Amino acid sequence: MSKARRWWVAPSASCGEGVGTRDFVVGAATRHAGTVRVTIRVRPGARSTRVGGCYDGALVIRVAVRAEGGRATTAALDALADALGVPKRDVTLVAGATSRTKVVEIPDFAADAFRDVVSSD
């Protein structure tokens, strides 16, 4: 069993700084066997669903659905999977089910796609 490694980028860093390098993402990010945990910020009730932007070091995902019964969380995870080009089952919620700020686990091979999504703004 491999030991998880932890990297840190100062909270004042720009969104996505260092993605794909040793200091993987803003805030605390942990690499586990084959996965990486990243922070997202969900903004429910938007006009349309869109992935992009930065809020407090987290990737912003705007979703059209309202935050009722976990629908906004599901829509955000689906939108992130689509943006990364990975199956929806590969993007899993780790923490923040009822919070707008969430920790999500993505596959390690999606690190380059995540960096592209973050840097496209």
pLDDT tens-digit readout, 88-113:
998 999 988 889 999 898 887 877 77
State how far the Cα of 45 lies from the Cα of 31, in Å rounded to an integer: 32
For residue 73, pLDDT over 90 is answered with: yes
Check residue 121 and give its pLDDT.
Answer: 59
Q: What is the reported pTM? A: 0.74
Check residue 110 and give its pLDDT.
Answer: 78
pLDDT tens-digit readout, 7-35:
333 333 456 554 443 444 444 455 667 78
**Residue-range domains of the chain with CATH:** 5-119 (3.30.1200.10)
Confidence band for 56, pLDDT divided at 50, 70 and 90: confident
State how far the Cα of 7 lies from the Cα of 38, in Å rounded to an integer: 11
Beta strands in the chain (DSSP E): 5-9, 27-32, 35-43, 50-55, 58-62, 92-95, 101-107
